[in-house]
Structure 1
């Protein structure tokens, strides 16, 4: 259908399975690109528009930089690295960029550091309240801990761990939190390292790590679903809206007491991945 309208098809859609929105502007085009599939992309991609330069912007982390661009058979190609579930903004330009810094493309080293033992868990806040510190050893959903409120609470659990960073040369380290339910704030050695609330739940944390011992804290906030289900089972009138109330798909009063507990917190292995920057 694009060919019928004389609109060049985007290879990122037809070949790589990416979702994209493209809009023209005064200096070129801008794209919003997402990898809404079970695989990522790490490749040169031919654009449906011509450009001399391009820049990349990560809307989740604030990272930005000039993208790698080349001309092949009269068409513009840009190098993209996207994880499954990740999004990026691409801006193309008809002229060179001035005083721009390059986008930092990375290559994972052959091994990663598995942070799979020695974890502790306590709650910064919780309704119902959960006191004390739990030696969970491995990261797991807090609905599995031995506490009567663990399957019915809403709150923020703090997963903490001390690690020894190996003497390994790397340009940066990526903290991969795996399966997070639902959002996480990371602190390393008392410093704020960033927040994640969508896949791939990864942060570049090399600047916060130091040789030897490091202390990692991950504050995870769950959804209120488990708390809502328990309130409905107890018959508590938590719906207090004046003009509207919560209904189901058929616009009937909804009750969620039948909901099974939803996973909360860290639900899989956590890794530290050493990466090197890809040179020209």
Structure 2
């Protein structure tokens, strides 16, 4: 618990340095994407951690310049009544990648070891069954050739509370905050114990956990992306040459009169008044 309560003690990464390195890493992510597509590889990246630990922002930066037909984000809603009667891993397995695809799980099957365990949304028997079955499930992914990377975003209690308060005051971020998020403040130690127990059972050789210190969001994003790239043996593929064709000469086409079409009002024009 002390590890999560403390901060990393390092200075905040300067914005200019962050943006320069982020762009470089995002360029490498595009190369990784093209290698995944060409090789028919399958990559799964799991993002877990405390509420307000910076998972969403990191996922956004990872996916920002990738082809959404190749790299997609899986952020599953609450299970339906039917899904609650299925094998627990069943609805997550439906979102696994096919050849040439990347899936970024914004929370994953580890909900059972975290929020469901702490908030009482599953029974003790269901939780214990998950801890037994999860390594076997991930071993099957590994044996089938899926590249699985699991990241735990660790944030101190002081920084978490600061981010919660910022969300309360910002109407563009208010949707990120729920009553359950706020309750996590009062259940800090319960979540710590649940996370520790989860690591004991699921931090295994085939699919280890990688902890990302995320009190500094910029540093966390850079560190996570750089690490992900270092764990996949991708290579830059040659880019086929492309040239813009010459535009053909006009053949007499005339645009219809503007008053025959409905245009969006020029809202921007009024901003300078």
TM-score by length of 1: 0.19
Higher strand share: 1
Greater relative CO (CA pairs within 8 A, separation 6+)? 2
Higher helix share: 2
